[in-house]
Amino acid sequence: MDRNMKTTLNRSQFMDNFSSMDRYDQFGYDGLTVLFDYLESYEEDTGEEIELDVIALCCDYSHDTVQEIADNYNLDLSECDDDAAKREAVENYLNENTTICGETDSGFVYCSAF
């Protein structure tokens, strides 16, 4: 019988795992904080434990600025009057197409596998 031992990670250990795999910069401190909180909440809501797989998380989730998201998904923001309107348009697009894990000052952490 193959049995596995689970380890509970705190936010700092979660971030250290990304750092040790040279993936910290993909999310940065704010993005990893949002992702950690989202995953922790998911575990609490579903009762399902998540096994940490840094590479899989990097493939499934992104932390991008409003402009990067607009560029990546060919969103036309030309009719948006200001940054708040652009942010709202991008947020609406993400809400219609995927799951937003949370926001940072610079943008959104979202499930990019859509």
Q: Look up the pTM and report it.
A: 0.90
What pLDDT shows up at residue 5? 72
User: In the predicted model, what is the mean pLDDT of residues 44-61?
Assistant: 95
What pLDDT shows up at residue 2? 64
- What is the spatial distance between Cα 97 and Cα 95, in angstroms, rounded to a whole number? 6
pLDDT above 80: residue 6: no
User: In the predicted model, what is the mean pLDDT of residues 54-83?
Assistant: 97
